[in-house]
Structure formats: C-alpha cells, structure tokens
Amino acid sequence: EVQLVESGGGLVQPGESLRLSCAASGFTFTDASMTWVRQAPGKGLEWVGRIKRPSDGGTPDYASFVRGRFTISRDDLTNMLYLQMNSLKTEDTAVYYCGGYGIDYWGQGTLVTVSS
C-alpha cells in the first residue's frame, strides 16, 4: 500500500524558514516523480513544484510564486521528499500535501501557518 506521510509543519513568523518532510513507502521511490501541492484555508489546490525521478534527471521545477524561496529535494536512499521553505510570507499559510507518481497518491498534509 502506498503511504505518504508529511511532517514538519507548524507556526512560524514571516521571514522565517521551515523544512517539510514526506516519508514514502509501499512503492519503488526511485520510479516516481514527487510533487508538493498546497491549499490555503478555504481555497483551492495550488501546485508548488515537483522533482523528477532519478532516471529523468532528478531535477526540480517550481511554481513562479515560490522560485528562489523554496527548494525541493529527495533522498532516494531513505525514500524521503523535502520542501525547504525560506523567507516565508503570510500568504504561504496552507496545508502542504506531498504527492507521489506525479500526484496519483496524496499524503494527509501538514499545516504551515505563517503569522506574527
């Protein structure tokens, strides 16, 4: 069974940093591109970025609103996906979901609140 478990969310102040993690299991991690999607309270889904599988280069792509502030990485030895978020803004407040195989599979999400 595919499982994606996000962690690392919490309350931070504007300008601070946070690193989200996603633990993947139940599938061959290196076969999958992995994605981050977020959802602000009461709003729709927003694509944050994805990282390709190693055989496709393992490179990340980002939404325009996060480029330069967020970094997606993966550890193919430990089946972990990461989202490093710097210079956080109040508008980054959202539930952040990890997606596997593109976004065929979703985690339960982790809430990030950016507030002073």
Interface contacts to another protein, rule CB under 8 A = 35, 37, 44-47, 49-50, 61-64, 97, 102-109
Would you say 82 or 97 has its CB closer to another protein?
97
Q: Supply the minimum distance, in Å, between the C-beta of residue 73 and another protein.
A: 17
Name residues whose C-beta falls within 8 Å of residue 77's C-beta, 6 or more positions apart in sequence.
none
34-39 and 45-51: which strand pairing? Answer: antiparallel
Would you say 12 or 51 has its CB closer to another protein?
51
Q: Supply the minimum distance, in Å, between the C-beta of residue 13 and another protein.
A: 27
Q: Supply the minimum distance, in Å, between the C-beta of residue 53 and another protein.
A: 14
Token pair 């980002």: residue: 62
Would you say 13 or 108 has its CB closer to another protein?
108
Query: Residue 23: which region, alpha, beta or left (left: phi > 0; alpha: psi -120 to 50)?
Result: beta
Reduced to 3 states, what is the DSSP secondary structure of residue 2? Answer: coil
